């Protein structure tokens, strides 16, 4: 085999970060094919692990800590990265992630993205920052980004002029947005020409059968019979937001990312929405690694149709296909048929056998080692 194996996994949700998964895959490859060179490049499509992937690519980024309010419970430490070029990086999952919410209280009708707004507000308060890149994905919320607007100082008022409830439920009660009390940090950021770019983990628009409520509501803990009301609340919210800010954003790809956070950032702040995986892999260091690759090994917790619609693994399959190099994926669960994944560009896809979560890294390494020996990986 000529060239290196590019190891570029996403995180395995609930068990392994992209960094841990990459180390496990590398360990397995070295056991199966000791002489094969490897390049490890942990990735993220904008969801959980976005900051870790960026920090691995750009070691000169400074990490800052901010106290934020998660969807439930007491304040926690949120983080953002800042580069010497005035660009800051935020990961919504660190403040509003679904991993921060116990299963029993995953109620998207009630949960707010306020903590992410606090994080963004802290970044905007830094005079050196002129651009913010925020990774959107893996959130517990379905509030259309309303909580973020509240953190920015925008008041969401009902017909009596009273503040509405948090979460998706309050969206249906909003009659007017009062922007007269916007936080000085946002005003200063916009005054210096500040820009926001969203790295979205999905392409979904905000509304409809492929929108935020119907596509992701069940994953966030909603009951099936709640979905029509969640959708109706988002529809009402969309009308109010677009009327207030004068921008139509509901139909933008990525507007449905992170429970509609992409929508409000685009409509309210004029943010650019872009798929996270292509954006991250455009960096020079990844392109250099890709040019040396004779094969790509990737992976994630569940490989399904969403993986093929903007996620890291599906995008890598396209890259490999375009370069005529094999792409192999490992997943905790595979919800695609062989026809599906072969059509997407994968050479081989493997589902991990059952294992205990605390043994996930070793289980992945062992399975990679055994599988790649059996498929004559070293001779590809």
The residue assigned the tokens 């890598």 is 316
Q: Mean of the per-residue pLDDT values for the chain?
A: 92
Residue 178 in tokens:
């009062």
The 3-state DSSP class for residue 333 equals strand
- Looking at the predicted structure, is the pLDDT value of residue 188 above 90? yes
The 3-state DSSP class for residue 199 equals strand
Residue 47: C-alpha distances to residues 30, 171, 217, 334 (Å) = 29, 24, 16, 20
Q: What is the pLDDT of residue 206?
A: 98
Q: How confident is the model at residue 1 (pLDDT cuts 50, 70, 90)?
A: very low
Task: Report how far residue 195's alpha carbon sits from residue 271's, in angstroms, rounded to the nearest whole number.
Answer: 7
Kindly report, residue by residue over 291-315, the tens digit of the pLDDT.
Answer: 989 999 999 989 998 888 778 899 9
pTM of the model: 0.90
Bigger pLDDT: 278 or 66? 66
Secondary element (H or E) of residue 270: none
Task: Report how far residue 162's alpha carbon sits from residue 165's, in angstroms, rounded to the nearest whole number.
Answer: 10
Q: What is the pLDDT of residue 15?
A: 81
Q: What is the pLDDT of residue 221?
A: 97
- Strands 155-157 and 272-275 come out as unpaired
DSSP letters spanning 47-107: STTHHHHHHHH-TTPEEEEEEE--SSSS-EEEEEEE-TTSEEEEETHHHHBGGGS-GGG--
Residue 77 in tokens:
């430490």
The 3-state DSSP class for residue 197 equals strand
Q: What is the pLDDT of residue 27?
A: 94
**How many other CB atoms sit within 10 Å of the CB of residue 212?**
32
**Domains of the chain, with CATH numbers?**
4-42+283-379 (3.40.50.10350), 50-277 (3.90.1510.10)
Q: How confident is the model at residue 174 (pLDDT cuts 50, 70, 90)?
A: very high
Q: How confident is the model at residue 375 (pLDDT cuts 50, 70, 90)?
A: low
Q: What is the pLDDT of residue 268?
A: 96
* Sheet of 348-351, strand order: 38-40, 4-7, 293-303, 327-334, 348-351
């Amino acid at each position: 085999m000529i060239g290196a194996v590019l190891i570029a996994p996403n995180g395995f949700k609930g068990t392994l970060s992209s960094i841990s998964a990459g180390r496990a895959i590398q360990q397995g490859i070295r056991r199966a094919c000791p002489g094969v060179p490897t390049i490890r490049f942990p990735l993220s499509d904008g969801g959980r692990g976005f900051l870790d992937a960026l920090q691995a690519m750009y070691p000169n980024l400074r990490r800052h800590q901010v106290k934020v309010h998660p969807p439930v419970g007491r304040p926690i430490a949120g983080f953002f990265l800042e580069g010497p070029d005035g660009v800051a990086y935020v990961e919504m999952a660190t403040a509003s992630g679904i991993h921060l919410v116990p299963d029993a209280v995953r109620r998207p009708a009630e949960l707010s993205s306020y903590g992410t707004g606090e994080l963004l507000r802290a970044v905007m308060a830094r005079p050196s920052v002129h651009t913010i890149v925020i990774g959107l994905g893996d959130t517990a919320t379905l509030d259309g980004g309303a909580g973020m607007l509240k953190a920015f100082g925008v008041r969401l008022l009902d017909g009596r002029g009273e503040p509405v409830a948090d979460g998706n439920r309050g969206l249906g009660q909003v009659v007017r947005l009062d922007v007269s009390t916007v936080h000085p940090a946002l005003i200063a950021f916009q005054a210096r020409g500040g820009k926001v770019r969203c790295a979205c983990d999905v392409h979904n628009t905000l509304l409809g059968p492929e929108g935020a409520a119907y596509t992701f509501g069940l994953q966030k803990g909603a009951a099936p019979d709640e979905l029509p009301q969640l959708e109706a609340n988002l529809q009402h919210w969309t009308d109010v937001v677009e009327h207030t800010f004068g921008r139509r954003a509901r139909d933008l790809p990525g507007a449905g990312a992170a429970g509609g956070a992409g929508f409000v950032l685009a409509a309210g702040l004029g943010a650019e929405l872009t798929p996270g995986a292509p954006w991250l892999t455009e960096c020079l260091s990844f392109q250099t690694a890709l040019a040396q690759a004779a094969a790509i090994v990737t992976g994630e917790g569940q490989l399904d149709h969403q993986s093929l619609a903007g996620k890291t693994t599906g995008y890598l399959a396209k890259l490999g296909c375009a370069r005529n190099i094999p792409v192999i994926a490992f997943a905790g669960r595979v919800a695609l048929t062989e026809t599906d994944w072969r059509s997407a560009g994968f050479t081989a896809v493997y589902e991990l056998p059952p294992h205990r979560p605390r043994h996930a890294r070793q289980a992945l390494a062992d399975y990679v080692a055994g599988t790649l020996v059996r498929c004559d990986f070293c001779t590809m």
